[in-house]
Amino acid sequence: MHSLPAIAGNGPGPRCTVPTGRPNVLYSRDMPVEPAKLCIVRYPDPVLRQRAEPIETVTDEVRAVAARMLELMIEAPGIGLAAPQVGLTWRMFVVHVPESHPDDDPDEDNRSPGDDPPTATATPMVYINPMLSGYSRDLVSESEGCLSLPRITGQVRRPSVVTINALDAYGKPFTAQAGGLLARCIQHEFDHIEGVLCIDKFLPPDRRRAAKQLRVMENNADAFTPGATARG
């Protein structure tokens, strides 16, 4: 997920990004992962539509991948990144929603790890094999963007509070409640490990507006496909 809804998709994007449509390595479970070579993949890479599989054991390799994902997320800049976005069908994502700063947009809601429930993270977080529950009954509409869908944003309705159960980077289980932007980011990243993108949840006007940009990305992907016929 992009850094903040108000500026989602307006930045230059990460320096390490697989161009749209370029063939990307999809690691199988028996292949060793080289974290330093991981980059953010873009729509319409097929890995973004695959439902991720649980991580059986939290190993040094898993921690190294999580550290690399945090590097890519911060560099982008973003506030969340899921394993499928770096070509891994793992049920893992990382999140860091910073506390509000005096220079932030005054129209944005204040965020703090000390809120009840927390609306920001004190430090970057790793969520492994997460499960969501305890959704609030309200649906709040806010703009969302995605690091795998540069410059595409749209309104998405989500519950304002959610509870997450997951393993941390050392395999220790924990439960946490989140509200506000943190809750939205967690739900956005959880969608990724389910093979769901924010464009699937855009409100109709934004979905129509994004359609042209998505077609361009799809056509560019076709151009990288071996044997593909160029489209005029």
The mean pLDDT value for 102-108 works out to 76
C-alpha count within 13 angstroms, C-beta hemisphere, residue 212:
3
Residues constituting the chain: 232
For this structure, is 56 an active site residue?
Answer: no
| Domain-embedded: residue 196 | yes
- Domain range holding 37? 5-96+106-222
Q: How confident is the model at residue 15, as a pLDDT? A: 43
| Domain-embedded: residue 227 | no
Mean confidence (pLDDT) of the chain: 88
User: CA-CA distance, 56 to 63, in Å (whole number)?
Assistant: 13
Structure tokens at 75: 């560099």
| Domain-embedded: residue 232 | no
- For the chain, how many structural domains are there in total? 1
| Domain-embedded: residue 150 | yes
Burial class (CB in 10 A: 0-12, 13-18, 19+), 189: buried
Percent of the chain with pLDDT over 70: 83
The mean pLDDT value for 78-97 works out to 98
Q: How confident is the model at residue 30, as a pLDDT? A: 62
pLDDT of residue 181 exceeding 50, the answer is: yes
pLDDT of residue 68 exceeding 60, the answer is: yes
Task: Name the least confident of 15-24, 43-52, 122-131, 172-181.
Answer: 15-24
| Domain-embedded: residue 138 | yes
Listed in sequence order, the DSSP H helices in the chain are: 60-75, 180-193, 204-224
Catalytic member of 34, 61, 189, 218:
189
Q: How confident is the model at residue 50, as a pLDDT? A: 98
The mean pLDDT value for 211-232 works out to 70
Q: How confident is the model at residue 225, as a pLDDT? A: 52
pLDDT of residue 165 exceeding 50, the answer is: yes
The mean pLDDT value for 172-191 works out to 98
Q: How confident is the model at residue 140, as a pLDDT? A: 98
Output the CA torsion sign for 17, 22, 27, 33.
negative
Q: How confident is the model at residue 104, as a pLDDT? A: 75
- Write phi, then psi, for 5 (nearest 5 degrees): -55, -35
Q: How confident is residue 101, by pLDDT bands cut at 50, 70 and 90? A: confident
| Domain-embedded: residue 231 | no
Q: How confident is the model at residue 1, as a pLDDT? A: 87
Q: How confident is the model at residue 148, as a pLDDT? A: 98
Quick one: which of 123, 96, 140 has its CA closest to 4? 96
* 23-to-28, 122, 225 alpha-carbon distances in Å: 15, 37, 8
CATH number assigned to the domain comprising residue 84: 3.90.45.10
Structure tokens at 174: 């924990």
Say whether 116 sits in a helix, a strand or coil.
coil
| Domain-embedded: residue 229 | no
- Judge if the upstream peptide bond of residue 118 is cis by omega within 30 degrees of 0: no
Which is higher by pLDDT, 144 or 4?
Answer: 144
99 residue type, one letter: E
Task: Name the least confident of 12-21, 149-158, 159-168.
Answer: 12-21
pLDDT tens for 1-44 read 875 443 333 333 444 555 444 444 455 556 789 999 999 999 99
pLDDT of residue 232 exceeding 50, the answer is: no
Quick one: which of 164, 170, 139 has its CA closest to 80? 164
| Domain-embedded: residue 110 | yes
The mean pLDDT value for 168-183 works out to 98
